[in-house]
Amino acid sequence: MKYKIVLIIVPLVSGIIFIFFLPTLISRGVGYNKNVYDGIDIFFAWVENVIMITFFFLTIFGPLIYLFVKSKKII
């Protein structure tokens, strides 16, 4: 039962976080802006992009993974 809760809540939370940070991602020019030459800014933008892409895939594939696991009767 607690696995089902995790498999449902993780995509929901990641989707909310993704939607919340999407304007930041777009305004930064998907992490790289030609006005940003400072190395640390580029690094943090890259980290932000990796986190956002991870949340995006969790949001999209989380329910699919849940349905796959449920169909195989693993849980």
pLDDT of residue 55: 77
pLDDT of residue 37: 55
pLDDT of residue 70: 78
Reported as a single tens digit per residue, the pLDDT across 22-66 is 666 666 555 455 555 556 666 777 777 777 777 778 777 877 877
Would you kindly state where each structural domain of the chain is located, as residue ranges? 2-71
Closest CA to 47 of 23, 31, 29, 27: 31
pLDDT at 4 exceeding the cut of 60: yes
pLDDT of residue 27: 61
